[in-house]
Copies of this chain bind each other. A is one copy, B any other.
Amino acid sequence: MPFIPHTPDDVAGMLAAIGAGSIDALFDEIPAALAVAGLPAIGPGLSEPEVSRLMLERAELDGRPLCFIGAGAYEHHIPAAVWQIATRGEFYSAYTPYQAEASQGTLQLIYEYQSMMASLTGLAFSNASMYDGATAFAEACLMAVRANSRSRSRRVLTTRALSPAYRAVARALLAGQGIELVELPLENGCSSLAALAPLAGTDFAALAIQQPGFLGSPEAVDELTDWAHTQGMLVIGVCNPLLLALLAPPGEWGTAGADIACGEGQPLGIPLSSGGPYFGFLTCRKALVRQMPGRIVGRTVDVDGRPGFTLTLQAREQHIRRSRATSNICTNQGLMVTAATIFMTLLGAEGLRRVAAQCHANTRALVTALTRLPGISLAFDTFCHEAVLRFDRPVAPLLEALAAGGILGGYDLADEYPDLGHALLVCATEMRSAADIDRYAQALGGILQGTTAGRGRRSRS
């Protein structure tokens, strides 16, 4: 009986104490018509050696291609200490810190996390995490709609330079409450400033912009923020937290700074892992904190006057406020926050800055190498750590050929941005070496010439 400690004696003694004849008898309140005898569609249990072998085989099934995809999830080096500490049982197997006195480890760590995120984004307060960057964005929109007392609309102005996936998630999450997203068009890979004028005077609860934009180019965040504020909108900044070591934080955009910042925490020490678990971060100006969704930890004192940490402002949350809560979120992404906090501690401001700068330098090198090939050009001149390349032919077959040679060449923009022509979003993080970039360029050159790359898909350099 894997995981079950009961001896036959235990079972007999316990049933006697209960006054029941068998374990099955404990289910006698289930109406007979509803009772099932088992789960025939589920096979027999596997021992740990058996399941280990199965998973090892599956983990190795697909090789380890060289990855040049970014588009919202990034391969960065994760210090070994991060997960060795985060998976310690005391962090890994605890619940939400409801009993503060028995959870000071988790609580203090979250307080430290909140401090780091507040400082990274240049805003006053952070919550303890959202599910991922996309849901954090949706909750930021909801928060803005609730908080902007000057606006009577249920509309948020956003832009096609903001991640298509984030916009899709926000649409799914906001639909029920009748909140609508309106999108600024693109101009040169960025939100069109020219498109602002016609919108002046229209009632929007908020403007949401992403820095850098999904296509890698920096947005004119100062102009956009100031314009939105003059229009009575709140400003939501969506950011890659790693790049915030290098780029101006939302709290410093324009004259007054953005009001809310959010984004995907994955770059801060979270493995790619096919898409999750990641975590969303969410920070805001002081005045908005009571509209914040999710858990928040505060520092206070105990009866002896010693400092300590506890969940606070719980009156916003579903377990107290129920149908009038700021959100339905309960379980968040605690363990990811644990890892991210250790990651930020190990890297420090200077370490984050270096990683960000190196990503930029590597992507620049990649762009240089690929645009030397015939029929490939850089779409938008200014970029941060990813860039759009324009091709003279459809990208999909090229990506397929690259993948067959063990290279993931980038993110094809054909579906989401057909107006960009044959366009590919590429990214070379600090993990890609000069040799990796060279290998990509060689392979693509070969494919373009009609020859195949001809290298084994598993080797890395």
Contact = CB atoms under 8 A, between A and B. Distances in A.
**Tally of this chain's copies:** 2
A84 B460 CA distance: 29
A431 interface: yes
14 contacts: A48-B77, A48-B79, A48-B80, A49-B77, A49-B430, A49-B431, A52-B77, A52-B80, A53-B431, A53-B433, A57-B460, A57-B461, A84-B87, A88-B88
Given A52-B77, A57-B461, 11 more contacts: A48-B77, A48-B79, A48-B80, A49-B77, A49-B430, A49-B431, A52-B80, A53-B431, A53-B433, A84-B87, A88-B88
Interface residues of A, number: 16
Nearest to A49: B77
A383 B190 CA distance: 75
A107 B287 CA distance: 55
A6 to B, nearest CB: 15
Interface of A: 48-49, 52-53, 57, 77, 79-80, 84, 87-88, 430-431, 433, 460-461
A157 to B, nearest CB: 40
A431 B87 CA distance: 27
A405 B234 CA distance: 65
Contacts of A461: 57
A326 to B, nearest CB: 37
Contacts of A77: 48-49, 52
Nearest to A84: B87
Contacts of A79: 48
